Amino acid sequence: MTTPYSISRALKGIHHMFSDSLRCIFAFSLVLGLSIVLPSPAAGAPDAKLCASGKMNAARNYASCIMKFEVKALKKDTNAEYLRCEVALARAWSRLERPCGEAALTEGLTAPDVLALADTTSLALASAAGDAAPLIATTLCTGSNVLVDNGNCVPSSVLCEGDGVAIQDGECVAIGSPQVGCTTIANIRANGIPTEAACVENVLVTAITDDGFYAQDTAGGTLAGIRVVVSGGQIDELGISPGDLVDVSGIFDEYEDWDHPETQAQIEVPNDGSVSTVA
Say yes or no: 142 and 255 in one domain: yes
Q: How many CB atoms lie within 10 A of CB 16?
A: 9
Say yes or no: 95 and 197 in one domain: no
51 pLDDT more than 50: yes
- List the domain range (segments joined by +) for residue 149: 123-277
46 pLDDT more than 70: no
Q: What is the pLDDT of residue 263?
A: 31
Give the integer Cα–Cα distance in Å for 87 and 72.
18
Q: How many CB atoms lie within 10 A of CB 156?
A: 19
| 185 vs 231: which has the higher pLDDT | 185
Say yes or no: 112 and 128 in one domain: no
Say yes or no: 110 and 137 in one domain: no
Give CA separation, 103 vs 93, 95, 218, in Å: 11, 11, 48
Say yes or no: 148 and 272 in one domain: yes
Say yes or no: 104 and 167 in one domain: no
Convert the pLDDT of each residue in 71-108 to its tens digit: 677 667 777 666 666 667 766 766 666 666 544 333 33
Give the integer Cα–Cα distance in Å for 167 and 144.
17
Say yes or no: 133 and 264 in one domain: yes
Say yes or no: 134 and 232 in one domain: yes
Across the range 40-54, mean pLDDT stands at 58
Q: Determine the residue type at 44.
A: G
Euclidean distance between the first and the last CA atom of the chain, given in angstroms as a whole number: 56
Domain boundary among 116, 133, 163: 116
Q: Are 11 and 37 in contact (CB under 8 A)?
A: no
Say yes or no: 193 and 107 in one domain: no
246 pLDDT more than 60: yes
Q: What is the pLDDT of residue 255?
A: 39
Q: What is the pLDDT of residue 234?
A: 60
Q: What is the pLDDT of residue 233?
A: 54
Q: Is the pTM of this model over 0.75?
A: no
Give CA separation, 108 vs 4, 73, 101, 105, 261, in Å: 9, 28, 19, 9, 43
Give the integer Cα–Cα distance in Å for 243 and 93.
36
Q: What is the pLDDT of residue 134?
A: 34
Which residues lie across from 215 on neighbouring strands? Answer: 205, 226
Say yes or no: 247 and 142 in one domain: yes
Say yes or no: 40 and 111 in one domain: yes
Residue 192 falls in which region: left (phi positive, over 0), alpha (psi -120 to 50) or beta = left
Give the integer Cα–Cα distance in Å for 62 and 4.
10
Convert the pLDDT of each residue in 161-218 to its tens digit: 444 555 444 455 554 444 445 667 776 666 555 444 556 667 777 777 776 777 777 7
Say yes or no: 79 and 146 in one domain: no
275 pLDDT more than 50: no
The total number of structural domains that make up the chain: 2
Convert the pLDDT of each residue in 117-143 to its tens digit: 222 222 222 222 223 333 333 334 444
